[in-house]
Amino acid sequence: MGKKMIDFFKSTAGMVLIVTILVGIAVHAATGNFFTAYNISTLTRAASFIIIISFGQTIVLLTGGIDLSVAAIGSVSSMFAATFMVEMGMNSYLAIIVSCLLGIVFGAVNGFFIAYLKITPFIVTLATGEIYKGIVYIITKGMPIVGVPEDAQFIANGVIGDILPTIVIIMIVICVILTIMLRRTKFGRHIFALGGNRNCAKIVGIKTERVEMMVYCLSGLLAATAGVLMTCKLASFQASIGANWVMPSVTASVLGGTSMTGGIGGVVGTVIGGLLSGTISTSITLMRVSSYWETVVTGGVVLIAVVIDAMKENPVMREKMVRMFKRK
């Protein structure tokens, strides 16, 4: 147990957790407002949406791919959820389930082009993301859809026992399910094998196309879930939902220790990465620093994490970096 703890804190996710705690302590010492019930609740609520959509990005990154359409899938799925509930009068829970399942369809489109037609994930998901975003504006003309029922709002805004927000509970449940899937199932092992070495995965009999298709379907489902929950939170659909979710989803995954080249990582680390991103955003607000610095700081942290990850995987690069600093 002790060795596992030591190994964890040596990992990228462990170091990020330490940084998150230290940043929180420093900001609280300066403002006295970080470790308050209200701030922690606000931080975890906001981070949960990003973390949920980042779960899908993490699983895609584990295969060595990337999904730039997650934000658009979240937006178009939330539009359908609001349309079903408000304009068609569908039962709230049924509308939420159907809209989330639509995310699988959108993800399957990505999976088909990537897994079976062998087109680069970056190009495919960039293109489909633009298509889905365009569909939203064609249907809604950029206008909001208001009047989401209260029972749907509770799913994202409710609090259990006056302490734990429902959205945080949903995020934790999803994290547990995905962790079990990745660590205890054949499908999870195939995901890591695909990201570790695609050719070897094929040689040992893994149906790589099917695995890749399922991964993008899962990413679509999680993106849709985040988007639908955001609509429930806002009590309305806004065309801007998910507009800025692509970079945060990659950020949370990379900061959580998921390798951009595939085969290494996990969703628990993604939770930690998402919390660091949320901590940076909250800290900048509490310190009354211009919000423009948030992107600068977050980008810098991600760059450092990527460099460290690259050094771990590439001994030659690590040796060059060591020599460079020795010369100085």
Q: Longest C-alpha distance within the chain, in Å?
A: 70
CA 72 – CA 109 distance, rounded (Å): 13
CA 321 – CA 315 distance, rounded (Å): 10
Do residues 230 and 74 touch, judged by C-beta distance below 8 A? yes
Residues whose CB is less than 8 angstroms from the CB of residue 273 and which lie 6 or more positions away in sequence, other chains included = 13, 16, 54, 251, 252, 253, 254, 255, 256, 257
**Amino acid identity for residue 196 in this structure:** G
Q: Which residues pair with 237 in a beta bridge?
A: 145
CA dihedral 277, 281, 286, 288 (to 10 degrees): 140
CA 78 – CA 239 distance, rounded (Å): 9
User: Could you write out the three-class secondary structure of the chain?
Assistant: CHHHHHHHHHCHHHHHHHHHHHHHHHHHHHHCCCCCHHHHHHHHHHHHHHHHHHHHHHHHHHCCCCCCCHHHHHHHHHHHHHHHHHHCCCCHHHHHHHHHHHHHHHHHHHHHHHHHCCCCHHHHHHHHHHHHHHHHHHHHCCCCEECCCHHHHHHHHCEECCCEEHHHHHHHHHHHHHHHHHHHCHHHHHHHHHHHCHHHHHHCCCCHHHHHHHHHHHHHHHHHHHHHHHHHHHCEECCCCCCCCHHHHHHHHHHCCCCCCCCCCCHHHHHHHHHHHHHHHHHHHHCCCCCHHHHHHHHHHHHHHHHHHHHHHCHHHHHHHHHHHHHC
Do residues 132 and 71 touch, judged by C-beta distance below 8 A? no
CA 86 – CA 150 distance, rounded (Å): 11
Domains annotated on the chain, with CATH: 2-327 (1.10.3470)
Nearest residue to 248 via CA among 11, 53, 19: 53
Nearest residue to 149 via CA among 240, 101, 81, 75: 81
Q: Give the pLDDT confidence score for residue 326 in this predicted structure.
A: 64
Q: Give the pLDDT confidence score for residue 324 in this predicted structure.
A: 67
Do residues 269 and 258 touch, judged by C-beta distance below 8 A? yes
Residues whose CB is less than 8 angstroms from the CB of residue 35 and which lie 6 or more positions away in sequence, other chains included = 24, 28
pLDDT per residue, tens digit, the chain (328 aa), is 667 777 777 777 888 888 899 999 999 999 998 999 889 989 999 999 999 999 999 999 999 999 999 999 999 999 999 999 999 999 999 999 999 999 999 999 999 999 999 999 999 999 999 999 999 999 999 899 999 999 999 999 998 877 789 999 999 999 999 999 999 999 999 999 999 999 999 999 999 999 999 999 999 999 999 999 999 999 999 988 888 899 899 999 998 989 888 999 999 999 999 999 999 989 998 988 887 787 888 888 778 777 776 776 666 666 666 666 666 5
Residue 86, both tokens: 């408000």
